[in-house]
Structure 1
Amino acid sequence: LKAEKLAYLYSPHFPYFVHVNKKGSVRLLRGTFYFWKNKISKSDLMFFTGDSQAQTIEGQYEISDLVLDFAKKHNVKLIVTLGGYRMEAKDKPNVIAAATNSELLNKALEAKAMLSPLESPIVGTAGLILGLSRFKKVSAICLLGETRGYLPDPRAAKSVLEVLRTILNLDVDLAGLEEEIAKAEKIVTRLQKIEEKRILQTEEMRKEEDKKVSYIS
């Protein structure tokens, strides 16, 4: 969408190190707000992404509250948080949805999302923003893509974005994700082969140990 940077969010609750670029310059970890002007309709978009989650419980609440206040200041009417749902997807990853009102949740279900399991916690900023939005009187929904959880997962991202563009009625081309999906699958296949080799070596070592004769004297 080629959104433009709008503002930065800094916090002492982010990890205590700096990023160093190729020229040797450094910067603190931060969150970044972006703005996209919709030239077709009045549904403009604001994005927030960060280098890291806050490292403390207090920080999680503080940053979530700051994000909501910034959104309210800019007259945001709907907040969507995105994240992952730890589950191995055999085929196309499902999208799990939770929302602050039934109308919004129904839109997600119509877009082929699934209800969040009962009593299933949504951890971190994605969940807290959803919960705190009630106090700010802003509608909010959370979309979670089924993912392995230990690697970037463009397949899960694509599933989430397909639901999101339906909810927001956006014309967004997701074809560019196919290349990333192919790269991710190659990495997973390579890791699986390494794990299979490790298991085989462990089994062979165990068999060799079993062959050894022990004496008690």
Structure 2
Amino acid sequence: MTATAEQLCKVLKAQHPSEPPSSALVATGLATETRRMSHDQVLTWLFKERETVVKEEVAANFLTGVERNQAYLRAALSAYACATHLPQHAFTAQDQLNCQVCSFFKEREVNFIALNRVRFLIGAALFGSPSNIAFQLQEHNAGPKERPGNLDLMVSILDLVRDVPAVTKPKDLLKLLRKLPGIKMSEEEGRGFLDLLGHCGILQTPEHPGLL
């Protein structure tokens, strides 16, 4: 099955991550398995993809994703930003169950349906999860590399971010973003997009600097 991004989004919206994949989802060819992975396996995966990725191609896909309102093309920029400063490290935990460096557990189930839902429906590396970062970079590396055309929508977003008062709350900025002519984002996708702008340093404060 060769599905459009819109068709993939529709199928993924109808699929609960904890339920067996529907025949429609299986037919898309998207990864649907759940795999138990260790902390070290996930980091090996992440660093392999980070070494392969080309920053300029990530940026070009991001701009194309903004232009086309396609979250999956934007997702790798957030993942790249989060991966940039992540150091090689062993699993390190004291009183908590997860790693104090990257927050991944010593072992856990990695649900690829959930990862694809994040990629296509949100378009950002949520919570800096190493498995999410690795997956978004992997899919970018394996996928087509786009060339952005019209940047008017991105310029409108940058103008909005620049012109809003500094005291504007995130929920109010989200409303303004979603009202911009040409923007087609769900509320969840919009929140992910604002997080992505924070990861990239477009939205940042001295207390919360970006990652790039």
**TM-score, length-scaled by structure 2:** 0.29
Which of the pair has the greater relative contact order for Cα pairs under 8 Å at 6+ separation?
Answer: 2
Larger Rg: 1 or 2?
Answer: 1
Higher strand share: 1
**TM-score, length-scaled by structure 1:** 0.29
Higher helix share: 2
